[in-house]
Amino acid sequence: MFRLTPKNYSDDVEAKLQQYKKQGYKLPSRRILRTEEQLAGIRASAAINTALLDFISGQIKEGMSTAEIDHLVYAFTTDHDAIPAPFLFEGFPKSVCTSINDVVCHGIPDTKEFLRNGDIINVDVSTIYKGYFSDASRMFLIGEVSPEMQRLVQVTRECRDIGVQTAQPWAQLGDVGAAIQEHAEQNGYSVVRDLTGHGVGIQFHEDPDVNHFGKRGTGMLIVPGMTFTIEPMINMGTHKVFVDEANGWTVCTDDGLPSAQWESMILITETGNEVLTE
């Protein structure tokens, strides 16, 4: 029987779960619903992660190499007694993902890659603090960026925000994906299908997968206690992407047109959600 512990969840929440179970809804595993003790650790990790992105916001500039960004991320994180989660995760060689222009995600920092006037870049940072994980990314505009690319970045941020607003208790994950997809496509953009948001907190990547496209009224039930990311990757052209065979990590748009991404981590509460990172 699917149960929530009375210590952390109200009788009302448990009663609703049993009702939804009888109706055939897909429910999350008990193990991904956070206790208050876990949430305290996750919030502490998230505070460092957000402070890190605030710090990078004040440092990033034209002419900087992506390797310099990696150094700043590593130094800030370790200075706060934390660990950069990407470092050596499944073999990833750096502490941060730096994805420029047509790079969708998982760009690897390099001493020979420099930020140039007109670039857009996604800086994706993830933090482990006392065993708890947090995750977020932001877009940065370098110098004078074209109106077309500025609009892509803005609409992508709106997609993230719409996803967060839609991720309410007792909704379904398909509702979130559908809302994001609708906004992106109404603005003439496409949503990457091959990569998703994900549960995070006790591990770097946990259940559930959070698609940024989909159909309303489908997918896993969103339940108080879940923590996951919403991180739409929105392309100016086709939604199709490929992985750079040279490093096995970097994902690029199939047509070479720009892509943007914003990522937040949220906690589902009994009355709505709490944004943990942004």
Q: pTM of the predicted model, to two decimals?
A: 0.94
CA distance 20 to 196: 25
pLDDT surpasses 60 at 218: yes
Strand partners, 135: 126
- CATH number (3.30.565.10, 3.40.50.2300, 3.90.230.10, 3.40.50.720) of 28-277 reads 3.90.230.10
**Inter-residue contact 163 to 176 (CB < 8 Å):** yes
pLDDT surpasses 90 at 1: no
Q: What is the pLDDT of residues 106-136, one digit of tens each?
A: 999 999 999 999 999 999 999 999 999 999 9
Least confident of 17-21, 62-66, 185-189: 17-21
Q: What is the pLDDT of residues 162-171, one digit of tens each?
A: 999 999 999 9
Tokens in use for 190? 């496409």
User: 3-state class of 98 per DSSP?
Assistant: strand
Burial class for 267, CB neighbours closer than 10 Å (0-12, 13-18, 19+): buried
pLDDT of residue 14: 80
Q: Per-residue confidence at 6, pLDDT binned at 50, 70, 90?
A: very low
pLDDT of residue 26: 95
Task: Please state at what angle helix 173-186 crosses helix 147-166, rounded to 10 degrees.
Answer: 160
Give the angle subtended at the CA of 132 by the CAs of 211 and 6, to the nearest 5°.
80
H-state helical runs in the chain: 11-22, 36-59, 66-79, 147-166, 173-186
pLDDT surpasses 90 at 103: yes
**CB 148: neighbour CB atoms within 10 A?**
10
User: 3-state class of 31 per DSSP?
Assistant: helix
Least confident of 16-20, 103-107, 264-268: 16-20
Average pLDDT over residues 213-222: 98
Q: Please give the mean pLDDT across all residues of the chain.
A: 95
Domain boundaries, the chain: 28-277
pLDDT of residue 254: 98
**CB 75: neighbour CB atoms within 10 A?**
12
* Higher per-residue confidence, 17 vs 234: 234
pLDDT surpasses 50 at 81: yes
Burial class for 253, CB neighbours closer than 10 Å (0-12, 13-18, 19+): buried
User: 3-state class of 101 per DSSP?
Assistant: coil
User: 3-state class of 221 per DSSP?
Assistant: strand
Residue 88 φ then ψ, to 5°: 65, 10
CA distance 242 to 255: 10
Please name the residue that has the structure tokens 């047109």.
Answer: 257
Q: Per-residue confidence at 30, pLDDT binned at 50, 70, 90?
A: confident
Q: What is the pLDDT of residues 42-54, one digit of tens each?
A: 999 999 999 999 9
pLDDT of residue 8: 58
